[in-house]
């Protein structure tokens, strides 16, 4: 006799566990299936532990610049094992927190590999090989994604790493090659650079963090080069030979010439592959595109009773997008009428040094979409709090529709911008205009004043530049 539920969630990452909690709140009998760790990649091997690593690197960076603050710090050193141990401790704490939330909300947890075996049916294979049969009116697929590998650079955990290896390194790299300059690649490049490695980043496109506004990419490249990194754009890694003490990489530069360089380690950060294999999608006829599950605005697939959220679906592949989709899907399942997800209102954050944050259209994308734009740009050097913090490098850029005053996008680089971006995200969600932002009082002295100044600057009214 199968265990029966109103909803089964396959995967317990930030999309899956949030969906399960919201379902329980709405009175649905809910089960969640997880093959590895509650909390999924984000809590255990992604967002959170990487931020713990980056925080350690940030503190180390400041300690090495103590004299800039009138302080004395001598014989500064880093214990990589201790840094990693702290990061794993943070991940463990959050994993335990999700476990508590499952119990609190009376959500049944089934540990094992889940496969959808038919309409409303799911089979879970436990570590002992035994199968548990479940049934439900609705199933949410939240199986996430994994790192994409290069055919000539298969991760071995020793010399060639994915993000998981980079998070628990067996040794400190002396000379590190990072292939790919998206958020994951740049964050690890920033971490290991601050920790003392000599870092080279190779990006096949013509600029790093290519999804960001072009001005942000340009600023970040200059900042990272100033920190000692080597940045190679319009470049590619042609071949990698692994040896006992390192790797040799053949790198084709933008001039078309191929040079061979030696590195101690390589991090491959060239995107993700959705976890859609072996979960029963083919037999059900669930539609996918390039491996990612196709859904409508309510996260429903083409098969009745099957829903999908998070990295297994369309981009952007962000934890907070997955969580919000989980709520949308469950609200729809419960018969409510949730607002559809608007990708233009999903903020993105990259925790390198300096930080990057953005929401909405870049200036180039806004122009491509046919908008006549007004653009504001305010530098950190014009902000008293930034100067007092010793963080006067960066800027905030805003893009408006010149005809309506609609905020189309906001793009930031500098200290704590990952915390500032939510102000503009709320503004976009509320469909704010430049007039409302101008009339808002921002506290002094704060970094947030730059948000106000950037808006004023778009209309020729900036006060402090």
- pLDDT for the residue numbered 45: 86
Q: 242-247: long-range contacts at Cβ-Cβ below 8 A with a sequence spacing of 24 or more?
A: 242/156, 242/159, 242/160, 243/159, 246/159, 246/175, 247/159, 247/160, 247/177
Distances (CA, A) of 70 to 62, 299, 390: 12, 54, 11
- pLDDT for the residue numbered 402: 98
What is the distance between the alpha carbons of residues 10 and 26, in angstroms, rounded to a whole number? 19
Strands 145-147 and 288-289: unpaired
Catalogue the active-site residues: 444
Nearest Cα residue to 333 out of 310, 302, 304? 304
Which run of H or of E encompasses 251?
A: strand 247-252
Task: Calculate helix-pair angle for 183-194, 214-226, nearest 10 degrees.
Answer: 20
Residues of the chain with CATH 3.50.50.60: 3-146+273-343, 160-270
Cα four-point dihedral sign 452, 458, 459, 462: positive
Does the predicted TM-score (pTM) go above 0.85? yes
The residue length of the chain stands at 465
Query: In this predicted model, what pLDDT tens digit does every residue of 362-385 receive, in sequence order?
Result: 999 999 999 999 999 999 999 999
- The most distant pair of C-alpha atoms in the chain lies apart, rounded to whole Å, by 72
Please check whether residue 348 is in contact with residue 358, taking contact to mean a CB–CB distance below 8 angstroms: yes
What is the distance between the alpha carbons of residues 52 and 61, in angstroms, rounded to a whole number? 14
**CA 355 from centre of chain:** 13
What is the distance between the alpha carbons of residues 412 and 423, in angstroms, rounded to a whole number? 12
Strands 247-252 and 236-242: antiparallel
- pLDDT for the residue numbered 1: 60
Distances (CA, A) of 254 to 152, 213, 227, 379: 20, 21, 22, 31
- pLDDT for the residue numbered 47: 87
What is the distance between the alpha carbons of residues 144 and 83, in angstroms, rounded to a whole number? 27
What is the gyration radius of the CA atoms in the chain, in angstroms? 23
The burial class, CB within 10 Å (0-12 / 13-18 / 19+), for 254 is: exposed
* DSSP assignment string, 145-181: EEE--BTTB---SSSEE-HHHHHS-SS--SEEEEE--
| Letter string b/e over residues 336-348, b meaning 16 or more CB atoms within 10 A of that residue's CB | eebeebeeebbbb
Distances (CA, A) of 344 to 44, 218, 302: 28, 23, 24
Nearest Cα residue to 300 out of 138, 188, 79, 411? 138
Residues of the chain with CATH 3.30.390.30: 354-458
CATH for 160-270 is 3.50.50.60
Distances (CA, A) of 447 to 41, 147, 354, 380, 453: 32, 35, 14, 8, 10
Other Cβ atoms within 10 Å of 355 Cβ, number: 25
Question: Can you give the three-state secondary structure of 68-136, one letter per residue?
Answer: HHCCCCCCCCCCHHHHHHHHHHHHHHHHHHHHHHHHHCCCEEEECEEEEEECCEEEEECCCCCEEEEEE
Which run of H or of E encompasses 56?
A: helix 47-64
Which run of H or of E encompasses 200?
A: strand 198-202
Q: What does the pLDDT profile of the chain (465 residues) look like in tens digits?
A: 679 999 999 999 999 999 999 999 999 999 999 999 999 888 888 889 999 999 999 999 999 999 999 999 999 999 999 999 999 999 999 999 999 999 999 999 999 999 999 999 999 999 999 999 999 999 999 999 999 999 999 999 999 999 999 999 989 999 999 999 999 999 999 999 999 999 999 999 999 999 999 999 999 999 999 999 999 999 999 999 999 899 999 999 999 999 999 999 999 999 999 999 999 999 999 999 999 999 999 999 999 999 999 999 999 999 999 999 999 999 999 999 999 989 999 999 999 999 999 999 999 999 999 999 999 999 999 999 999 999 999 999 999 999 999 999 999 999 999 999 999 999 999 999 999 999 999 999 999 999 999 999 999 999 999
| CATH architecture of the domain with range 354-458 | 2-Layer Sandwich (3.30)
> May I ask the CATH class of domain 3-146+273-343?
alpha beta
């Amino acid at each position: 006799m199968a265990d029966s539920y109103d909803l089964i969630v396959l995967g317990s990452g930030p999309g899956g566990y949030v969906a399960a909690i919201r379902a329980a709140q709405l009175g649905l009998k809910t089960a969640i299936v997880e093959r590895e760790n509650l909390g999924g990649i984000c809590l255990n091997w992604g967002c959170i532990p990487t931020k713990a690593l980056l925080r350690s690197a940030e503190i180390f960076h400041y300690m090495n610049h103590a004299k800039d603050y009138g302080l004395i710090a001598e014989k500064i050193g880093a214990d990589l094992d201790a840094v990693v141990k702290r990061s794993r401790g943070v991940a463990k704490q959050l994993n335990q927190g999700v476990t508590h939330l499952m119990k609190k909300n009376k959500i049944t947890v089934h540990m094992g590999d889940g496969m959808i075996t038919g309409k409303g049916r799911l089979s879970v294979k436990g570590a002992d090989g035994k199968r548990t049969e479940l049934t439900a009116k609705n199933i949410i697929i939240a199986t996430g994604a994994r790192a994409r590998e290069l055919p000539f650079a298969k991760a071995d955990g020793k010399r060639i790493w994915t993000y998981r290896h980079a998070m628990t390194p067996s040794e400190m790299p002396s000379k590190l090659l990072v292939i790919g300059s998206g958020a994951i690649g740049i964050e690890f490049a920033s971490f290991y650079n601050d920790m003392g490695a000599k870092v080279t980043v190779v990006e096949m496109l013509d600029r790093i963090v290519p999804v960001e506004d072009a001005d942000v990419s340009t600023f970040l490249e200059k900042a990272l080069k100033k920190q000692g990194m080597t940045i190679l754009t319009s470049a590619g890694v042609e071949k990698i030979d692994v040896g006992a003490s390192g790797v040799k990489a053949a790198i084709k530069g933008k001039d078309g010439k191929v040079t061979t360089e030696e590195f101690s380690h390589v991090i491959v950060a060239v995107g993700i592959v959705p976890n859609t294999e072996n979960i029963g999608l083919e037999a059900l006829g669930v539609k996918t595109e390039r491996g990612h599950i196709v859904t409508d605005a309510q996260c429903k697939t083409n098969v009745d009773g099957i829903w999908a959220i998070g990295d297994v679906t369309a981009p952007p592949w962000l934890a907070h997008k997955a969580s919000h989709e989980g709520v949308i899907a469950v609200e729809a399942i419960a018969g409510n009428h949730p607002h559809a997800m608007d990708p233009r209102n999903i903020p993105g954050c990259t925790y390198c040094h300096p930080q990057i944050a953005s929401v909405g259209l870049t200036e180039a994308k806004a122009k491509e979409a046919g908008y006549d734009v007004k653009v504001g740009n305010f530098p950190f050097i014009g902000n008293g709090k930034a100067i007092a913090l010793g963080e006067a490098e960066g800027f905030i850029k805003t893009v408006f529709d010149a005809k309506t005053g609609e905020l189309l996008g906001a793009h930031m680089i500098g200290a704590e911008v990952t915390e500032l971006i939510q102000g503009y995200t709320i503004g976009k969600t509320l469909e704010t205009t430049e007039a409302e932002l101008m009339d808002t009082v921002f506290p002094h002295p704060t970094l947030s004043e730059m948000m106000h100044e950037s808006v004023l600057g778009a209309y020729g009214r900036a006060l402090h530049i």
